[in-house]
Structure 1
Amino acid sequence: MTAALAVPPGLSFLAELSVTVGEPIDVGPTPEGHRRLIPITGGTLRGPALNGRVLPGGADCQLLRGPTLTELDARYVLETDAGHRIFVHNTALRHGSSRDIELLNSGAAVDPSKIYFRCWPRLTTAAPELDWLNTRLTLGTGVREPGRVVICIFTVH
């Protein structure tokens, strides 16, 4: 392996998303795991280059793999202050003790330091001014709070 390949990529802060959510729709235990659908009702987008809002109408499809691990698959749309729309497909892992995950799933607040919440938001857009989003990977860290999820997104370079 060459030395250049062994250097980890850097990250630059892109934006903070505050995504408001509705009451979970519980499907229940399935052969793949316990399924829930969390409606996305709105929110904000704030960052050095992107500002706007989260449009209502998306959802986070959750799969509780067990008492300590949840897989998240959220899809929703952002609208910038300039009126450009960005489609978000965010996949994530959330892990914590069985008690802390149970509290999160009930809507209670849990100390974020007790929960591993990492994500890969894929951002795509038709806006020529934001075309660079179509060609970049982003990673994020998340915190679940009562009524909302806060995600800090970083561009990988």
Structure 2
Amino acid sequence: MTTASDNTTPQAPDLEYFGTLHIEVAAPVEVGHTHAGQRRVIPITGGTVTGPKVSGRILNAGADFQVIRSETESDLDARYVMEFDDGARVFVTNMAYRTGAAEDIAAIARGDKVPAQRIYFRCAPRFEVADTAETSWQWLESTVLIGSGRREPEAVIIDLWIVR
């Protein structure tokens, strides 16, 4: 039995690489300034999912709903559908936070390429696996994945890790 007086050092969880999402996007739709901040919607038009144990595509069925809180901070709420090569479809809700220097964020908004190391872009996707899936991807619904993203002019690339 562990007590409050035990001097145990917490251990960080292990991470296992899941895969990389290459998410193709269209031009942003600027909604305008709302009470939450500058609202923008970026259509998701396709892409790929690749990893050691996963392969598939991202369907033309989703968008990234963004709130630009300041010239340096954005809250991202992307919702889209992945279809794995075995036919399984997975609905993804991917909440993210992105920040960087004002000039780098402005460059991204213009469609310029900014080195990934200059932008802090982290996410925590959640998954809903369709009941019709022939193979078992249900474990995704009860597993935490974390990601590190980067914005390219025509796409968003997200590397995902399973938290063990």
TM-score (norm 1): 0.95
1:84 pairs with 2:78: no
Equivalence for 2:151: 144
SS in 2 for 1:13: strand
1:124 Cα deviation from its structure 2 partner: 2.2
CA distance in 2, matches of 1:105, 1:120: 22
Q: How many residues align?
A: 157
Gaps of 5+ in 2: none
Q: Equivalent of 1:114, from 107, 118, 126?
A: 118
Q: Could you give the per-residue CA deviations for residues 89-136 of structure 1, whole angstroms, max 9, x where no partner exists?
A: 000011001110011112111111110000001122033511111110
Equivalence for 1:58: 62
Larger radius of gyration: 2
Shift >4 Å, 4+ stretches: 1-5
Letter of the 1:150 partner, please give it.
I
Letter of the 2:149 partner, please give it.
G
Alignment of 1:116-131 (within 5 A): 116-126=120-130, 127=133, 129-131=136-138
Gaps of 5+ in 1: none
CA distance in 1, matches of 2:128, 2:146: 14
Equivalence for 1:97: 101
Identical residues among aligned pairs (%): 43
CA distance in 2, matches of 1:50, 1:29: 39
CA distance in 1, matches of 2:72, 2:8: 37
Equivalence for 1:75: 79
Inter-CA distance 16–3: structure 2 relative to 1 (3 Å threshold): farther
CA distance in 2, matches of 1:38, 1:5: 43
Alignment of 1:27-46 (within 5 A): 27-46=31-50
Letter of the 2:111 partner, please give it.
G
